[in-house]
Structure 1
């Protein structure tokens, strides 16, 4: 494996938790203001004082999300502080990002000799032979979308909100089922929380419907239905709201939840209460899975070994959560001899590192179930060559002008946040072919058909997502044998 930018990640992100605080997260907060989680397997609900407010009732999983004085509720094992997640920090969002063109901007749309169309930046889809429109060999064989486009499935995007006014997302998001779980009074669309969720949504289900000169982008499962569940108000969200979103997604019959959210703490001796939080997450995951919903989670962006002593990355390491690490190329469309021939960007020796190269920032270890395209980056090259952003994942975004006008566009992001939706889209493809497959069977198929790059299990789990092999297996006889991700937590 190459050492591209991996040394620099320690300087960029440090070794401690990023973008996370416990409880109310404010020096002026009183005990009565604190948010916390209650494990009803450790304390009876009748023992909870009346002055403790129940924010989310997840009692089907024996869990409550509460506000009040945590010390008044049961023993130490009965509660865990809620985790506040700050998306303004790179550790909880995209590691690297850049805006591309607006949806209405003019650019050529063809495969050879000229400015690339939007879809030509999608190395993550092209390398998987997702659709004949994304290849220089149209008619050269069946693509994934000749077999399935995810029709009849439903995927929840639990994130910062989804801008459904984007031309490649129109008609994709179920407005009636989409919701805001934060209680801030607005709807499911982004509310000061950036375009992270919109980018994720495009990776899963963009339809390539933009009829502008530059065209659009295409998602893994463009005929799946998305449910946008916003858990961030502004740039802050709570783990408890995320768990409530999981329960809601399962109750409305989602085939998968894309949860590109996580938090890493490097010393559980310093924060032992997070082991209680891990147990609570596992209880919710068990209930969600019992209703047939797969939980797909980004493994984290701190370049940390999740098997190191006292290291804990949540929710990835909780039982029942399917963890995805990130990979990406170095050198996609950087320029040079073939810079004007987009059809050759992935061919020959034009990549310094392949698309399966572990991204410099990705967490790794036995909690990884599979790897998928999340984007890579040579940070030195990006500083001098704008084309180096092509190694990131290109998808739908929204921007807000100074006057409040929301504009559709496209942009690059890299992170395990971008790898998880590749797998969530894959779940939609499997469930469209096998609607009765259990979460164990779906995950098992994804893992059994994954291909193993040379870096091995440490970075790739069971292997790298292989949509062609997956769809072939899902369309045949027999079922998967169940994923390895049900018994994690080996630290």
Structure 2
């Protein structure tokens, strides 16, 4: 990745604080029962006190995730991070629920309500399949060459709802795992639909036989392995890293990690122990890559310039992590004189902003390797015009009903898993770099399906070398904007 010199600078100037504790927007545990990382390159394992519990043994990367009194461990330790998805910068910036899988959309033009796949501007723009509706006369599509068969993608997230008809037989339930310490399985169990949306973007099969059909993923014949690292709204970075290791050992070709730490926990001057957190992330990433697994990570939603030397966004800026920024349109099927004309609407004619323009929220700078479709929004219009949600990314979700009745906010922290009384598959819109990363994870699966023996470096280089130019240039897109047509043609 391009931030080599920066990382060297940070290592030379940063101060590692062994007993630092920090939660991202949440209170941390007390010192005596806190979770933390132990770096075995600086700590003799035999010297770790017996009453320090090892939660995850990641010793292949010389890392342990522990719980207990951090101050009693002599050597380099750093607090495990609490990631709060209640902060929209750590998940989807904007979300809107759509219809259930047997529902009907609202009419938008003369020929009736849109089919679900008609709302997938991201897949139509990339020419993924002739099953989609904007390819009059056909022509060769991505799926005429490959659908990702023979590959495996890990979704390290809030769980995947495999009862969705477009995700049926997609998830490997034997390899999937709950990596948290709660008692539930790897499905969402009240942790929200973020992971299900991500999984659909990668591998939805368009199998819904309801009146409006389904949605289609980039690599519908890949296999998803679900690692749930969120319990309700909260997840821990250590659980996420444990899932990376498990994914590599399960022969996953790609890890999709749409997770990160928001500002202000990116400023080294204020939080110098970030340099030690970077070291932990890089040790784990190095092991994962040595097993042949690509790590794709969302760049973050703070509109943050990651280039300054005092800024460090983890894990995006770790060596070995492939960072993805987000783009999206403004005006997809709304707001113009052609919004009632399906032929114009489906081809994105009269857009205010093109689909490859930087999203308002995306992080940018030299930690970005490529950009991809994550959705954008006219925020004023989104609050007033229902159709404005079409600028977000449309994919699979799970709708959850709780004992206290329907809740518009599926991630409300009072809605714990024990309160769930019903779940139902559906579709919805989300925008975020979380939605851009799975576009690239799916693309990596397509590459591996064509070149099973391609190294991690070869997969990443192919994606970067075939990326196209886009508004904003290298600052917002790194090597460029994901171009599946060029990528698949080069990989054949």
TM-score, shorter chain, exceeding 0.5: yes
Partner of 2:353: 353
| 126 and 184 in structure 1: CA distance in 2 versus 1, 3 angstrom threshold | same
Partner of 1:147: 145
CA distance in 2, matches of 1:182, 1:143: 40
> SS at 2:313's partner residue?
strand
Partner of 2:375: 375
> SS at 2:339's partner residue?
coil
> SS at 1:462's partner residue?
coil
CA distance in 2, matches of 1:31, 1:53: 13
Deviates more, 1:410-419 or 1:271-280: 271-280
| 349 and 26 in structure 1: CA distance in 2 versus 1, 3 angstrom threshold | closer
Q: Tell me if structure 1 keeps the 8 A contact 2:134–2:346.
A: no
Partner of 1:457: 474
> SS at 1:67's partner residue?
strand
Partner of 1:425: 442
| 25 and 335 in structure 1: CA distance in 2 versus 1, 3 angstrom threshold | closer
Partner of 1:326: 326
| 391 and 53 in structure 1: CA distance in 2 versus 1, 3 angstrom threshold | same
> SS at 1:418's partner residue?
helix
> SS at 1:419's partner residue?
helix
Quote how far apart the aligned CAs of 1:30 are: 2.9
Deviates more, 1:390-399 or 1:306-315: 306-315
Quote how far apart the aligned CAs of 1:349 are: 4.4
CA distance in 2, matches of 1:220, 1:39: 38
CA distance in 2, matches of 1:274, 1:28: 16
| 61 and 266 in structure 1: CA distance in 2 versus 1, 3 angstrom threshold | closer
Partner of 1:233: 231
Structure 1 segment 299-310 matched on structure 2, within 5 A? 299-310=299-310
CA distance in 1, matches of 2:227, 2:298: 17
Partner of 2:36: 36
Deviates more, 1:304-313 or 1:436-445: 304-313
CA distance in 1, matches of 2:452, 2:385: 46
Q: Tell me if structure 1 keeps the 8 A contact 2:24–2:84.
A: no
| 338 and 146 in structure 1: CA distance in 2 versus 1, 3 angstrom threshold | same
Q: Tell me if structure 1 keeps the 8 A contact 2:104–2:113.
A: no
Structure 1 segment 55-134 matched on structure 2, within 5 A? 55-75=55-75, 78-107=76-105, 113-134=111-132
Quote how far apart the aligned CAs of 1:111 are: 10
Deviates more, 1:281-290 or 1:31-40: 31-40
Q: Tell me if structure 2 keeps the 8 A contact 1:109–1:213.
A: no
Partner of 1:406: 423
Q: Tell me if structure 2 keeps the 8 A contact 1:255–1:428.
A: yes
1:150-200 alpha-carbon deviations (Å, 9 max, x no partner): 000000000000000001000000111111000211100112211000000
Q: Tell me if structure 1 keeps the 8 A contact 2:25–2:84.
A: no
Q: Tell me if structure 2 keeps the 8 A contact 1:112–1:343.
A: no
Q: Tell me if structure 2 keeps the 8 A contact 1:448–1:462.
A: yes
> SS at 1:401's partner residue?
strand
Quote how far apart the aligned CAs of 1:104 are: 0.7
Q: Tell me if structure 1 keeps the 8 A contact 2:124–2:134.
A: no
Q: Tell me if structure 1 keeps the 8 A contact 2:109–2:340.
A: no
Quote how far apart the aligned CAs of 1:306 are: 0.5
CA distance in 2, matches of 1:407, 1:179: 21
Q: Using structure 1 for the length normalisation, give the TM-score.
A: 0.89
Partner of 2:485: 468
Partner of 1:337: 337
Quote how far apart the aligned CAs of 1:311 are: 1.1
| 211 and 322 in structure 1: CA distance in 2 versus 1, 3 angstrom threshold | same
CA distance in 1, matches of 2:330, 2:25: 39
Partner of 1:6: none
> SS at 2:399's partner residue?
strand
Partner of 2:203: 205
Task: Work out whether 1:164 is the aligned partner of 2:162.
Answer: yes
Deviates more, 1:340-349 or 1:29-38: 340-349
| 363 and 211 in structure 1: CA distance in 2 versus 1, 3 angstrom threshold | same
| 170 and 27 in structure 1: CA distance in 2 versus 1, 3 angstrom threshold | closer
| 26 and 51 in structure 1: CA distance in 2 versus 1, 3 angstrom threshold | farther
> SS at 1:312's partner residue?
coil
Q: Structure 1 unaligned segments of length 5 or more: list them.
A: 1-20, 476-491
CA distance in 2, matches of 1:64, 1:318: 18
1:379-434 alpha-carbon deviations (Å, 9 max, x no partner): 01111111111000000000112351110100000000000000000011000000
Q: Using structure 2 for the length normalisation, give the TM-score.
A: 0.89
Quote how far apart the aligned CAs of 1:140 are: 3.0
| 111 and 385 in structure 1: CA distance in 2 versus 1, 3 angstrom threshold | closer
> SS at 1:209's partner residue?
coil
Partner residue of 1:136 out of 134, 137, 144: 134
Q: Tell me if structure 2 keeps the 8 A contact 1:160–1:197.
A: yes
Deviates more, 1:294-303 or 1:327-336: 327-336
> SS at 1:91's partner residue?
helix
CA root-mean-square deviation: 1.8
